[in-house]
Amino acid sequence: MGGRGAVRDQKASVAPGAEVMVPARVEWDHRLAIGVGGLDDAHKELVDLYNRIVWACERDASISNVRERIRSFLMYARWHFGKEEEHMRRVRYSGYVDHKADHKRLLDDAGDFVESLGGALTWEDGPAIISYFEFWLTRHLASKDAQLRDFLNNADGGSPA
């Protein structure tokens, strides 16, 4: 799966008797690395936090548990984006403005998505939650972070963060 890491599909019930295929766990692998130790460690943590959302949705965890895992994921993403933006400024990354705008868009869109679920979140929302955050995470890693990796590899700006 070009640059997205390993994603395993699995069946998830969405209503009694109905099943759809939804993305499940994302497994960290070298294709997701950008070559900066601290940033790669943070990306691994984001993958782990995403997988915790999947676990909660798959196991019909309490609604508050699912919400807490989403909140933790987004709080960590916000912190990580700040650190990544500091590194991009430090190495004078030419794609900084676009990459930073993508961070803002991701956080804004995620806030809108979570708000759209409303207070009546149910276990039937699990597949949508999993699909949304899998796309959110892997699209950014495979596009914007891959562009940053290419810049760092060409500019030798990949010193540890």
Evaluate whether 124 touches 14 at the Cβ level (below 8 Å): yes
- In degrees and rounded to multiples of 5, residue 27 shows phi and psi of -110, 130
Query: Whole-angstrom Cα distance, residue 90 to residue 12?
Result: 44
What confidence tens digit (pLDDT) does each residue in 125-161 have?
888 899 999 999 999 998 999 999 999 988 764 454 4
Instruction: Kindly state the tokens that stand for 148.
Output: 């940053």
User: How many Cβ atoms from other residues are within 10 Å of residue 122's Cβ?
Assistant: 9
Domains of the chain: 6-155 (1.20.120.50)
pTM of this prediction exceeds 0.85: no
Asked if pLDDT for residue 103 goes beyond 80, the answer is: yes
